[in-house]
Amino acid sequence: MPPETANRFQAFRRISTERPFIVAQLGQSLDGRIATRTGDSRYIGAAPSLDHLHRIRAHVDAVVVGIGTVLADDPQLNVRRCEGRNPARIVIDSRGRLPAAAKCLAGEDGVRRIVFRDAASRGEPLPREVEIIRLATDGNGHFRMPDLARALAALGFDRVLIEGGARIVSRAIDAGIVDRLHLMVSAMILGSGQPGLELAPIDRISQALRPRVEVVSLGDGDVLFDCDMTSASQHGEQHE
Protein backbone atom coordinates (compact mmCIF):
# COMPACT_ATOMS: atom_id res chain seq x y z
CA MET A 1 0.00 0.00 0.00
CA PRO A 2 1.45 3.42 -0.91
CA PRO A 3 2.34 5.35 2.26
CA GLU A 4 0.08 8.22 1.18
CA THR A 5 -2.96 5.92 1.37
CA ALA A 6 -2.05 4.13 4.59
CA ASN A 7 -4.17 6.44 6.75
CA ARG A 8 -7.10 6.86 4.35
CA PHE A 9 -9.24 4.55 6.44
CA GLN A 10 -8.77 6.02 9.90
CA ALA A 11 -11.73 8.29 9.19
CA PHE A 12 -14.01 5.28 8.67
CA ARG A 13 -15.72 5.66 12.05
CA ARG A 14 -19.42 5.81 12.75
CA ILE A 15 -20.41 9.34 13.76
CA SER A 16 -24.21 9.06 13.81
CA THR A 17 -26.52 7.07 16.07
CA GLU A 18 -29.09 6.80 13.28
CA ARG A 19 -26.99 5.43 10.42
CA PRO A 20 -23.62 3.87 9.61
CA PHE A 21 -20.53 5.71 8.48
CA ILE A 22 -20.98 5.75 4.71
CA VAL A 23 -18.19 6.05 2.15
CA ALA A 24 -19.05 6.26 -1.54
CA GLN A 25 -16.66 5.68 -4.40
CA LEU A 26 -16.59 6.40 -8.11
CA GLY A 27 -13.95 5.73 -10.74
CA GLN A 28 -14.00 8.07 -13.72
CA SER A 29 -12.02 9.43 -16.65
CA LEU A 30 -10.35 12.83 -16.81
CA ASP A 31 -13.48 14.22 -18.46
CA GLY A 32 -15.80 12.88 -15.78
CA ARG A 33 -17.13 9.78 -17.58
CA ILE A 34 -17.75 6.45 -15.87
CA ALA A 35 -18.58 4.41 -19.01
CA THR A 36 -18.92 4.68 -22.77
CA ARG A 37 -22.31 5.31 -24.34
CA THR A 38 -22.81 1.52 -24.57
CA GLY A 39 -22.15 1.11 -20.84
CA ASP A 40 -18.67 -0.39 -21.17
CA SER A 41 -16.68 0.57 -18.08
CA ARG A 42 -13.98 -2.12 -17.84
CA TYR A 43 -11.50 -0.87 -17.00
CA ILE A 44 -11.43 2.89 -16.68
CA GLY A 45 -9.32 2.59 -13.55
CA ALA A 46 -5.84 1.11 -13.79
CA ALA A 47 -4.56 -1.47 -11.31
CA PRO A 48 -3.89 1.08 -8.52
CA SER A 49 -7.54 2.21 -8.54
CA LEU A 50 -8.75 -1.39 -8.40
CA ASP A 51 -6.35 -2.10 -5.54
CA HIS A 52 -7.67 0.91 -3.63
CA LEU A 53 -11.29 -0.14 -4.19
CA HIS A 54 -10.53 -3.55 -2.71
CA ARG A 55 -8.83 -1.89 0.27
CA ILE A 56 -12.00 0.13 0.86
CA ARG A 57 -14.02 -3.11 0.82
CA ALA A 58 -11.65 -4.60 3.37
CA HIS A 59 -12.28 -1.69 5.75
CA VAL A 60 -16.09 -1.74 5.76
CA ASP A 61 -18.75 -4.10 7.09
CA ALA A 62 -20.90 -4.08 3.96
CA VAL A 63 -20.75 -3.02 0.32
CA VAL A 64 -23.86 -1.73 -1.46
CA VAL A 65 -24.52 -1.67 -5.20
CA GLY A 66 -27.57 -0.99 -7.33
CA ILE A 67 -29.19 -3.51 -9.61
CA GLY A 68 -27.86 -1.64 -12.66
CA THR A 69 -24.29 -2.31 -11.59
CA VAL A 70 -25.02 -6.00 -11.05
CA LEU A 71 -26.73 -6.40 -14.44
CA ALA A 72 -23.96 -4.50 -16.25
CA ASP A 73 -20.84 -5.88 -14.55
CA ASP A 74 -21.88 -8.90 -12.43
CA PRO A 75 -19.30 -7.98 -9.73
CA GLN A 76 -18.16 -10.38 -7.03
CA LEU A 77 -17.89 -7.57 -4.43
CA ASN A 78 -15.26 -9.43 -2.41
CA VAL A 79 -11.66 -8.74 -1.40
CA ARG A 80 -9.20 -10.32 -3.80
CA ARG A 81 -6.52 -7.72 -4.43
CA CYS A 82 -5.49 -7.10 -0.82
CA GLU A 83 -5.54 -8.70 2.60
CA GLY A 84 -8.73 -8.45 4.62
CA ARG A 85 -12.11 -10.01 5.15
CA ASN A 86 -14.97 -9.90 2.69
CA PRO A 87 -17.77 -7.47 3.56
CA ALA A 88 -21.46 -8.33 3.48
CA ARG A 89 -22.88 -7.86 -0.02
CA ILE A 90 -26.03 -5.79 -0.49
CA VAL A 91 -28.01 -5.13 -3.66
CA ILE A 92 -30.62 -2.40 -4.12
CA ASP A 93 -33.23 -4.09 -6.32
CA SER A 94 -36.61 -2.45 -5.80
CA ARG A 95 -38.29 -4.18 -8.75
CA GLY A 96 -36.97 -7.71 -8.31
CA ARG A 97 -34.69 -7.93 -11.34
CA LEU A 98 -31.73 -9.59 -9.61
CA PRO A 99 -30.74 -12.93 -11.19
CA ALA A 100 -30.31 -15.80 -8.74
CA ALA A 101 -27.01 -16.64 -10.46
CA ALA A 102 -25.47 -13.22 -9.80
CA LYS A 103 -21.89 -13.60 -8.56
CA CYS A 104 -22.49 -11.35 -5.57
CA LEU A 105 -25.00 -13.88 -4.23
CA ALA A 106 -22.43 -16.69 -4.09
CA GLY A 107 -22.21 -17.91 -0.51
CA GLU A 108 -18.98 -19.90 -0.34
CA ASP A 109 -17.29 -17.29 1.86
CA GLY A 110 -20.15 -17.27 4.38
CA VAL A 111 -20.79 -13.51 4.42
CA ARG A 112 -24.29 -12.08 4.60
CA ARG A 113 -26.03 -11.39 1.31
CA ILE A 114 -28.91 -8.96 1.47
CA VAL A 115 -31.34 -7.67 -1.15
CA PHE A 116 -33.56 -4.61 -0.68
CA ARG A 117 -36.88 -4.85 -2.52
CA ASP A 118 -40.12 -2.94 -2.68
CA ALA A 119 -42.96 -4.50 -0.70
CA ALA A 120 -44.85 -5.41 -3.89
CA SER A 121 -41.95 -6.67 -6.05
CA ARG A 122 -41.32 -10.31 -6.79
CA GLY A 123 -38.63 -11.74 -9.05
CA GLU A 124 -37.04 -15.13 -9.42
CA PRO A 125 -36.31 -17.09 -6.23
CA LEU A 126 -32.92 -16.29 -4.74
CA PRO A 127 -30.57 -18.63 -2.87
CA ARG A 128 -32.07 -19.69 0.46
CA GLU A 129 -29.59 -17.85 2.69
CA VAL A 130 -30.12 -14.48 0.98
CA GLU A 131 -31.95 -12.01 3.23
CA ILE A 132 -34.70 -9.97 1.56
CA ILE A 133 -35.53 -6.65 3.21
CA ARG A 134 -38.70 -4.84 2.16
CA LEU A 135 -38.69 -1.04 2.03
CA ALA A 136 -41.21 1.46 0.76
CA THR A 137 -40.36 3.35 -2.42
CA ASP A 138 -41.15 6.88 -3.55
CA GLY A 139 -43.22 7.91 -6.56
CA ASN A 140 -40.28 7.13 -8.88
CA GLY A 141 -39.84 3.61 -7.57
CA HIS A 142 -36.69 4.54 -5.63
CA PHE A 143 -35.89 3.84 -2.00
CA ARG A 144 -35.50 6.96 0.09
CA MET A 145 -31.82 7.09 0.92
CA PRO A 146 -32.27 8.08 4.60
CA ASP A 147 -34.62 5.08 5.00
CA LEU A 148 -31.99 2.84 3.44
CA ALA A 149 -29.29 4.22 5.75
CA ARG A 150 -31.44 3.59 8.83
CA ALA A 151 -32.18 0.06 7.61
CA LEU A 152 -28.45 -0.61 7.22
CA ALA A 153 -27.90 0.51 10.81
CA ALA A 154 -30.72 -1.75 12.00
CA LEU A 155 -28.99 -4.66 10.26
CA GLY A 156 -25.95 -4.05 12.46
CA PHE A 157 -23.55 -2.37 10.02
CA ASP A 158 -21.28 0.41 11.30
CA ARG A 159 -19.28 1.12 8.12
CA VAL A 160 -20.76 0.84 4.65
CA LEU A 161 -19.37 1.35 1.16
CA ILE A 162 -21.74 2.52 -1.58
CA GLU A 163 -19.84 1.27 -4.59
CA GLY A 164 -22.24 2.20 -7.36
CA GLY A 165 -23.67 3.01 -9.63
CA ALA A 166 -23.27 6.72 -10.11
CA ARG A 167 -26.99 7.45 -9.77
CA ILE A 168 -27.17 5.81 -6.36
CA VAL A 169 -24.01 7.58 -5.22
CA SER A 170 -25.46 10.88 -6.47
CA ARG A 171 -28.77 10.31 -4.69
CA ALA A 172 -26.94 9.41 -1.49
CA ILE A 173 -24.90 12.63 -1.65
CA ASP A 174 -28.03 14.67 -2.34
CA ALA A 175 -29.67 13.04 0.69
CA GLY A 176 -26.74 14.03 2.90
CA ILE A 177 -25.89 10.51 4.05
CA VAL A 178 -22.37 10.25 2.57
CA ASP A 179 -19.55 10.98 5.02
CA ARG A 180 -16.67 10.35 2.64
CA LEU A 181 -16.33 10.25 -1.13
CA HIS A 182 -13.38 8.51 -2.73
CA LEU A 183 -13.29 9.77 -6.30
CA MET A 184 -10.66 8.03 -8.40
CA VAL A 185 -9.68 9.73 -11.66
CA SER A 186 -7.76 7.87 -14.34
CA ALA A 187 -5.61 9.26 -17.14
CA MET A 188 -8.14 8.57 -19.87
CA ILE A 189 -10.38 10.79 -22.00
CA LEU A 190 -13.57 9.22 -23.35
CA GLY A 191 -15.06 12.34 -24.91
CA SER A 192 -18.58 10.95 -24.64
CA GLY A 193 -20.50 8.42 -22.60
CA GLN A 194 -22.11 8.19 -19.22
CA PRO A 195 -21.33 10.99 -16.73
CA GLY A 196 -20.33 10.46 -13.12
CA LEU A 197 -21.99 12.47 -10.39
CA GLU A 198 -25.28 14.16 -11.29
CA LEU A 199 -26.62 16.01 -8.28
CA ALA A 200 -29.67 18.20 -7.88
CA PRO A 201 -29.28 21.24 -10.15
CA ILE A 202 -27.97 24.51 -8.78
CA ASP A 203 -28.16 28.00 -10.27
CA ARG A 204 -25.15 29.69 -8.72
CA ILE A 205 -21.56 28.69 -8.06
CA SER A 206 -22.07 29.83 -4.47
CA GLN A 207 -24.45 26.86 -4.04
CA ALA A 208 -21.78 24.29 -4.93
CA LEU A 209 -20.60 21.73 -2.39
CA ARG A 210 -17.02 22.39 -1.31
CA PRO A 211 -15.70 19.46 0.73
CA ARG A 212 -12.24 19.35 2.25
CA VAL A 213 -10.19 17.29 -0.18
CA GLU A 214 -6.88 15.45 -0.01
CA VAL A 215 -5.32 14.48 -3.32
CA VAL A 216 -3.25 11.29 -3.50
CA SER A 217 -1.36 9.83 -6.44
CA LEU A 218 -2.16 6.11 -6.60
CA GLY A 219 0.26 5.38 -9.44
CA ASP A 220 -0.04 4.71 -13.20
CA GLY A 221 -1.72 8.09 -13.61
CA ASP A 222 -4.57 7.29 -11.23
CA VAL A 223 -5.38 9.99 -8.68
CA LEU A 224 -7.55 9.70 -5.58
CA PHE A 225 -9.61 12.66 -4.42
CA ASP A 226 -10.49 11.86 -0.80
CA CYS A 227 -13.44 14.15 -0.07
CA ASP A 228 -14.68 14.80 3.46
CA MET A 229 -18.38 15.28 2.74
CA THR A 230 -19.14 16.20 6.34
CA SER A 231 -17.36 19.48 5.58
CA ALA A 232 -19.14 20.01 2.24
CA SER A 233 -20.96 23.18 3.21
CA GLN A 234 -22.08 25.64 0.60
CA HIS A 235 -19.83 28.70 0.78
CA GLY A 236 -21.05 32.20 0.13
CA GLU A 237 -19.99 34.12 -2.92
CA GLN A 238 -16.44 35.37 -2.97
CA HIS A 239 -15.84 39.02 -3.84
CA GLU A 240 -12.84 40.50 -5.53
Domain residue ranges of the chain, discontinuous segments joined by +:
17-231
Taking the C-alpha atoms of residue 135 and residue 171, their distance in angstroms, rounded to an integer, is: 17
Q: Which of 73, 75, 100, 71 is nearest to 87 (CA)?
A: 75
d(C-alpha 84, C-alpha 88), whole Å: 13
pTM for the predicted model, two decimal places: 0.93
What does each of the 240 residues of the chain score in pLDDT, given as a tens digit? Answer: 555 555 789 999 999 999 999 999 999 999 999 999 988 888 889 999 999 999 999 999 999 999 999 999 999 999 999 999 999 999 999 999 999 999 999 999 999 999 999 988 889 999 999 999 999 999 899 999 999 999 999 999 999 999 989 999 999 999 999 999 999 999 999 999 999 999 999 999 999 999 999 999 999 999 999 999 999 865 444 433
CATH number of the domain at 17-231, please? 3.40.430.10
Give per-residue burial for 21-48: e unless 16+ CB within 10 Å, then b. Answer: bbbbbbbbbeeebbbeeeeebeebbbeb
